[in-house]
Every structure is written in C-alpha cells, then in structure tokens.
Amino acid sequence: MVDGVTILVALPAEARPLRRRFALQRRQPDGRIPLYLGGRLALAICGPGAGAATAAVAYLQGLGLWSDPAWLNIGIAGHADLPLGSVRLVKRVSCATSGCGWRLYPPHLGGVPHGQVRTLSRPGSHYHQGWLYDMEAAGLLAGGEIPPTRIQLLKVVSDNRRHSTRAINARLVEELIGAQLQPIERLVEWMLE
C-alpha cells in the first residue's frame, strides 16, 4: 500500500483544476518547483519537456514526502483523430529521442480506455495512427528510479489533425483537465487503496 501519491503536471493550467478538486495548499520549500500538498496527495508543476519531468522526479524524491509513494502524470496530449477532451490511461510509453520504451499497468476504470504515448522533444503535428503525443511521459520513466508498477499516466487530448497545437492556450488546457476530474478522482482513489 502506498502512503501518498505525487501528481506531476507540466503546466499551471493543468494544475489549477486539480488543486481546487483536491483542496491542495501551496508549500514552497525552496522555490524550485511549485508544490501543493493536502492529505496523502502532492501536486508539482515541473514545466514542459521530458528533461523537466526527470529533474522534478529527482527533486521530489529528495524531499522525501512519502516513504512509499505512487506517481501520477496528468497532462495534455495530441492524437490524430480522437476528439478534444478524450481521456486515456496509458499502457505503453515510447521516447522519440532515445528510442526507449516502457510498459505500464493501468487499472480498468469503467469508461476510461487505455492508450499509448510517444514522447516528443517539442510539440508536433505529425500524428501516427493510434498514438498519443506528449512531452513529459518518458521523462517520468527515464530515470529508472520508479518502478513502472508505481506510475500511472492519464492524458487528455488537446490537439489533433483538425485542431492544431497553435490553438492550445491556458484556458483550453484548464477546461480540458477540469472536464476529466471524475475519472482522475477515481484513479487517485484506486492508487491510494
């Protein structure tokens, strides 16, 4: 049983609805990464990119918030055809830069399909069928310090062939994440069981 869940997001707009839903309060030990705490949850905003996610994991592990934590990355992702706001739990991650890949073990939450993510070094618009595209997932896994059984990824579609990455703004991101709070809450509850 885990004693806490650390939620990692890249953007403040991804964090806002989560902070409100879980009543998380800001804690800033030294100002490096915005950090919010409440009960058995921590939320950190790492910034965009796999390198930022890897650095955030190392930093947060150094804080020792939990002795036996689970990790949850929530964020936006592109997909060729899925409508904006579609949500997926991730079962496989591939890094476009390193070529590394990881298998994850998401739960079966009613109504939340599984998908696979390819992590890019910058936003792109060349979607290959069946993949979600993000910039952070591989960074959470790359350090190798967290067993894949302790990591869950939940991605919300923010762009596709019809809706360019150029149309993404903070308001849209906040709305997309905010619309998925029920499955996010169920996933967090499952992780804390």
pLDDT of 126: 76
**Which whole-number Å values give the CA distances from 116 to 30, 67, 93, 149, in the listed order?**
35, 29, 6, 16
- Which one, of 168, 170, 74, 177, lies nearest residue 123 by Cα? 168
CATH of the domain at 104: 3.40.50.1580
pLDDT tens-digit profile of 73-118?
999 999 999 999 999 999 999 999 999 999 999 999 988 999 999 9
| Structural domain of 93 | 4-192
Model's pTM, two decimal places?
0.95
Number of domains in the chain: 1
Which residue is listed with tokens 């885990």? Answer: 2
User: Which are the contacts of 77, defined by CB distance < 8 A and separation ≥ 6?
Assistant: 88, 117, 132, 133, 134, 155, 156, 157, 158
Task: Output the tens digit of pLDDT for each of the chain's 193 residues.
Answer: 789 999 999 999 999 999 999 999 998 766 679 999 999 999 999 999 999 999 999 999 998 999 989 999 999 999 999 999 999 999 999 999 999 999 999 999 988 999 999 999 888 777 787 899 999 999 999 877 788 999 999 999 999 999 999 999 999 999 999 999 999 999 999 999 9
Neighbours of 88 (CB within 10 A): 21
Neighbours of 121 (CB within 10 A): 13
- Which one, of 191, 12, 1, lies nearest residue 104 by Cα? 191
Check if the beta carbon of residue 16 is closer than 8 Å to that of residue 46.
no
Alpha helices in 1-104 (DSSP H): 12-21, 50-63
